[in-house]
Amino acid sequence: MQRPDHLPADLEGVGSRAFRGFGTVLNVTTVLVGSGIGVLVGHRLHQRTRDVVTDALGLVTLLVAALSATAVTDEHLSAAVGDGAPVLIVLGALVIGGIAGTALRIEDRLEEAGVLLVGVALRLLQIRRLPVADLLPALLVAPVLVQIVISV
């Protein structure tokens, strides 16, 4: 991938200080740390405080989405692919991604993996008050049984 001769001022030097994929690693790390803090401290906060924090996180997510949507109208992207193409690229990506995700049952598999991770975490933390922790063998076997039943 060729770097453009001139980058916007806010992108000058980007990539020279970090490795490719650094943003993804940073994102995953902050999500894991934030989730860990939420699990450890969240139950100690009043419900109203938890609601405010959740609302604030939702608003930040909307802000990031809005900023990403405005990037579609960036003049450098339009110059590279044409004026009407950026919106069509986003549309095509969403349609193709939606079809592929549905065909591969990605959402179902992520939900199964999430339940499995919760069960493993509960078992590792030796939390016995929650009945899910004792269902770990069932959590491991259930996805396989579902696949067998669906294939028959």
Give the pLDDT of residue 29.
87
Contact between 87 and 72 under an 8 Å Cβ cutoff? The reply is yes
What's the pLDDT score for residue 129?
A: 56
* SS3 state at 21: coil
pLDDT of residue 144: 67
Which pLDDT belongs to residue 1?
47
Distance, in Å, from the CA atom of 69 to the CA atom of 77, rounded to the nearest integer, reads 13
| CA-only gyration radius of the chain, Å | 22
Compute the distance between CA of residue 98 and CA of residue 86 in angstroms, rounded to an integer.
18
Q: What was the pLDDT predicted at 141?
A: 63
What CA–CA distances, in Å, run from 6 to 10, 13, 57, 73, 79?
11, 11, 35, 18, 13
In a structure prediction context, what are the per-residue pLDDT tens digits for the chain, which is 152 residues long? 455 555 555 555 555 567 788 888 888 888 888 888 877 887 788 889 888 888 888 898 899 888 888 888 888 888 888 887 888 888 898 899 999 999 999 888 888 888 777 777 777 776 655 555 555 566 566 666 666 666 65
Would you give the DSSP letter of residue 44? G
What's this model's pTM, rounded to 2 decimal places?
Answer: 0.44
Domain boundaries, the chain: 105-152
Query: What pLDDT is attached to residue 96?
Result: 94
